[in-house]
Amino acid sequence: MKAPKMTYARADSVAQALALLAEHGDGANVLAGGQSLMPTLNMRLSKPDLLIDINRLEDLAGISVEDDAVRIGALTRHAAVQRSPIVAEHLPLIAEAMPHVAHVAVRNRGTFGGSIALADPAAELPACILALGATITVESVRGRRDIAAADFFKGLFETERQPDELLIEIRIPCQRPGTVHAFMELSRRQGDFAIAGVACAAETDGETVTDAKLVYFASEDRPTLAANAVAAIAGKVWSDESRSAAMAALSEDLDPMDNLQGSAAFKLHLQRVLTGRVLDQAIERARAA
């Protein structure tokens, strides 16, 4: 469990990091918090020629509000996001998800951008930013571009980011009045990756869900919007029937695979249970608002 031989470069500027990425492309790995990358290196599951350490790029860290959106720099540590009053006020969904992201020690090092760049299908943050309609900014020597979260996650650990691009920031629209959020996941132990989970951002009118983003994680190869489940309840007064309808429709949205965490049937069952619970909570919050 010793990492293979590789070259290490500590970037002192974004420009330098981009130049190195342009030169080495696929052969380079960006090192952010290292919480996911270091184990894969030590297990020799990946063998980059070059490691580009971006931890000194202070410009990439920070949380601010700009134009009704919260901007989270890629290098912002999970712990900083969890503690942020801005996030608590404007992105309560993310604030609620944060304690589920790993453990304190991992959150102290792990970065928001790292989680998004990694695109683990069981991770919380990709699901949250998809539910919230975020935009991801990447940059290379070729220039900067914005990618909608809906276009960013392409598959298992696969994203729209090109090998020479650095993830710069994530912009997430502030939660508007009249919308409610809810977040739930099931993991075997506190801090583990989820075996089922859902991030919900809903628009409600009294007891009626008028529209919602229900994003499931830990089921598919990427965070997945459940259009059918939402269609089953949209415009209807929340009731036992609509709960059952949403749960039933979920099998048209999700087709989980058997894996070490359990069988497909087990995982679909859990997502169904969470569907009912998360919408119950959303309605409850709408009532309270």
Partner 1 sequence: MSDSGASSVFEGPNSHIGRSLSRASARRTVAGRGRYTDDITLPRTVHAAFVRSPYAHARILKIDTADAEAMPGVVLVMTGAELAERSTGPWIGTLSCFEGMKSAPQYAMAVDRACWQGEPVVMVVAERRALAEDACEQIVIDWEVISPTAEAETALDAGTPVLHPDLGDNLAFTKTIDRGTVDDAFASADIVLEESFSFGRHTAVSLEPRALLADYDPGTERLTIHTSNQVPHMIQAVFARTLGVPEHNVRVIAPDVGGSFGLKIHTFGDEVAATAASIELGRPVKFIADRLESFVSDIHAREHQISARIAVSKAGDIQALEIDDLAGVGAYSAYPRTSVFEANQVLNITAGPYKFENYRAKTTVVYLNKVPTSQYRSVGHPIGISVGEHMVDRAAETLGMDPVEFRRRNVMPDDAYPGVAPSGVPVNDLSHEACLEKLIGLMDYEGLLREQAALRKQGVYRGIGIAGFIKGTAPGPQGYYGSGGAPIASQDACTVKLEPSGGVICTVGVTDQGQGVDTVMGQIAATALGIPLDQIRVIEGDTDAVPYGGGTYASRATAIGGEAVYQASCDLRREILTMAGILLQSDAETLDIVGGNVVTAGSGEIRVPLSEIGRIGHFQLGELPNDYQPTLSATRRFRLTELPYIFTNGIHGAYVEVDTDTGFLRLLKHWVVEDCGRLINPNLADEQVRGGCVQGLGGALYEHCLYDENAQLLNGSMADYLTPMAAEMPDIEVAHVETPTSESELGAKGAGESGTGAAPGVVMCAVNNALRPFGAAVTAQPMTPEVVLRTLGKI
Ligand X SMILES: Cc1cc2nc3c(=O)[nH]c(=O)nc-3n(C[C@H](O)[C@H](O)[C@H](O)COP(=O)(O)OP(=O)(O)OC[C@H]3O[C@@H](n4cnc5c(N)ncnc54)[C@H](O)[C@@H]3O)c2cc1C
Q: Which residues bind ligand X (CB under 6 A)?
A: 29-37, 54, 74, 101-102, 106, 110-111, 113-115, 117-118, 120, 123-125, 166-167, 191-193
Site membership for partner 1, residue 156 (CB under 8 A) = no
CB 197 within 8 A of CB 124: yes
* Number of alpha carbons in the 13 Å side-chain half-sphere of residue 91: 32
Site membership for partner 1, residue 8 (CB under 8 A) = no
Site membership for partner 1, residue 189 (CB under 8 A) = yes
Among 20-28, 69-77, 153-161, 262-270, the segment contacting partner 1 (CB under 8 A): 262-270
Site membership for partner 1, residue 104 (CB under 8 A) = no
The token pair that represents 122 in the structure block: 């069981």
Query: CB-wise, 71 or 272, nearer to partner 1?
Result: 272
The token pair that represents 66 in the structure block: 């700009």
115 binds, among ligand X, partner 1, none (CB under 5 to 8 A by kind): ligand X
The token pair that represents 14 in the structure block: 């974004």
288 binds, among partner 1, ligand X, none (CB under 5 to 8 A by kind): none
Site membership for partner 1, residue 192 (CB under 8 A) = yes
Site membership for partner 1, residue 178 (CB under 8 A) = no
Site membership for partner 1, residue 34 (CB under 8 A) = no
Amino acid 264 reads A
Give one DSSP letter per residue of 209-262, joined into a string: EEEEEEEEESSSSS-EE-HHHHHHHTTSBP-HHHHHHHHHHHHHH-----BTTB
CB 183 within 8 A of CB 101: no
Query: CB-wise, 217 or 238, nearer to ligand X?
Result: 217
Q: How far is the CB of 47 from partner 1 (least distance, A)?
A: 10
Helices within 140-185 (DSSP H only) = 149-152
d(CA 70, CA 141): 26
Site membership for partner 1, residue 260 (CB under 8 A) = yes
Q: What SS3 class is residue 273? A: helix
What are the backbone angles phi and psi of residue 66, rounded to the nearest 5°? -140, 125
Amino acid 43 reads M
Query: CB-wise, 28 or 70, nearer to ligand X?
Result: 28
Site membership for partner 1, residue 105 (CB under 8 A) = no
Q: How far is the CB of 169 from ligand X (least distance, A)?
A: 9
Beta bridge partners of 210: none
In the complex, which residues of this chain contact partner 1 (CB under 8 A)? 1-5, 39, 43-44, 186, 188-192, 260, 262-263, 265-266, 269-270, 273
